[in-house]
Structure 1
Amino acid sequence: MKRTLITLAMSLSVAAPAFADQALATSKNCMACHAVDKKLVGPAYKDVAAKYAGQAGAADKLAEHIMKGSSGIWGPVPMPANPQVKPDEAKKLADWVLSLK
């Protein structure tokens, strides 16, 4: 079943790039604190994309924040480390977030 959902999500990425890695974000529990277009515990992904738009190295910086956590960037609530996210997954998630408009 999980393989079928992943295959479906990958096939939808051609037709709907905004959902290209939302399945990965959901599976890694990112969507518990973040949403694409509204602030929850953390900032909306579209706000993150806007803040880092055009910055060199933004994807690598975000990937590191995803894995190791961060604090003070978006206010007093820290983002915890996510050891369940592998480096290649973090990069994929960061690229996806930065692609949102």
Structure 2
Amino acid sequence: MEEANGVVKHVLLAKFKDDISPEQVEKLIKGYANLVSLVQPMKAFHWGKDVSIENMHQGFTHVFESTFESVEGIAEYIAHPAHVEFADEFLPALEKVIVIDYKPTIVTQ
């Protein structure tokens, strides 16, 4: 096992409030995805909805994963005006949220 060089993942699990319409959710997701073109340290963005059959999601419905080259890059992203403006719109739409940053470990044979 080895730590992936120069990669840090920022994972956000979310459950949108019940009164947030599907159209509003779609708009917020597009806004989140747009950050990758506005915030230089943000190298990639992926998202999806829970499809697990294990029913262990604890009410979380969406996952958002961003890739950065360093922990410092995440700090720059968090302070970036585009992120601050987006977060001011995104976070009030959430009923539940968890954020985890980690450095991936690669397992090979």
TM-score, with length taken from structure 1 = 0.30
Question: Greater CA radius of gyration, 1 or 2?
Answer: 2
Which of the two has greater helix per residue? 1
TM-score normalized by the length of structure 2: 0.28
| Higher RCO (CA < 8 A, seq sep 6+) | 2
